[in-house]
Structure 1
Amino acid sequence: MIISNVYRPTVLGCQADDRLTEVARRMAEEQVGALAVFDGAYVVGIITERDLVRAMATAHAPADESAAAYASTRVETAGLNEDSQRVARRMLDAGIRHLPVVDDERMVGMVSMRDLLALEAWTS
């Protein structure tokens, strides 16, 4: 199956200079484990629940920290027409649980390991 049949077609994110409290509130509100981090219209990172935990454990004043300070900046992406099994393998190999989905280099949504696991459960 291709990613366009699996991913969540909603772009959820924050700006690089957003405070971590705002990032955490947005994740809780949207019930997601990761947000794309934007600098204007460009994705410059991904921030996850694990990144927020790391900030809480290491920052002197986590509420004053920006999303960019704790986001992962090596951003892997998946294309709409990529095979879901290949995307799952790439995610496993890279140790990541969330992947932005792009169409013509523009983010159109996100796919998570949970999405891919649900697909596997329903198709086997």
Structure 2
Amino acid sequence: MLIGNVYRPMVLSCQRDEPLATVARRMAEKRVGALAVLDGDRVTGIITERDLVGALARSADPAGENAAAYASPHVRTAGLDEDSQEVARRMLDADIRHLPVDDHGRVVGMVSMRDLLALETWAS
């Protein structure tokens, strides 16, 4: 199945300079495990629950640190027309659980391992 049929078509995000505490609250309120990190309207990274845990483990002060300091700067994406099994393989190989979905260079949503697991479970 194509990613375009699986992904969540909304971009939940934060700005690079937002405090980690604000980022964590947004993730909890929206019940998501990752946010796209933006510089204006350009995606410059992704911040995940793992990144927040890492920040706390290094004794970071969530009120004094910003999203850019802990976000993964190497943003991989999935295209709308990519096969979901191939995307799942790439995510497993890279040990990542969330991928922004892009449509001709514009981020249009996010796909998670949970989304792909649900697809596999319900398709069986």
Question: TM tier, shorter chain?
Answer: over 0.9
- Identity percentage over the alignment? 72
One-letter amino acid matched to 2:118: A
* 1:39-78 aligned within 5 A: 39-78=39-78
Q: Following TM superposition, where does structure 1 have runs of at least 4 consecutive aligned residues deviating by more than 4 angstroms?
A: none
Instruction: Give the corresponding residue for 1:9.
Output: 9
Instruction: Give the corresponding residue for 2:91.
Output: 91
Q: CA RMSD in A?
A: 0.8
TM value normalised by structure 2: 0.98
Moved more, 60-69 or 113-122: 60-69
State the alpha-carbon separation in 2 of the partners of residues 52 and 59 from structure 1: 11
Cα distance per residue 1:15-68 (max 9 Å; x no partner): 000000110010011000000000111111010011111111114422110000
* 1:16-55 aligned within 5 A: 16-55=16-55
One-letter amino acid matched to 1:21: A
One-letter amino acid matched to 2:4: S
Instruction: Give the corresponding residue for 2:107.
Output: 107
Moved more, 61-70 or 92-101: 61-70
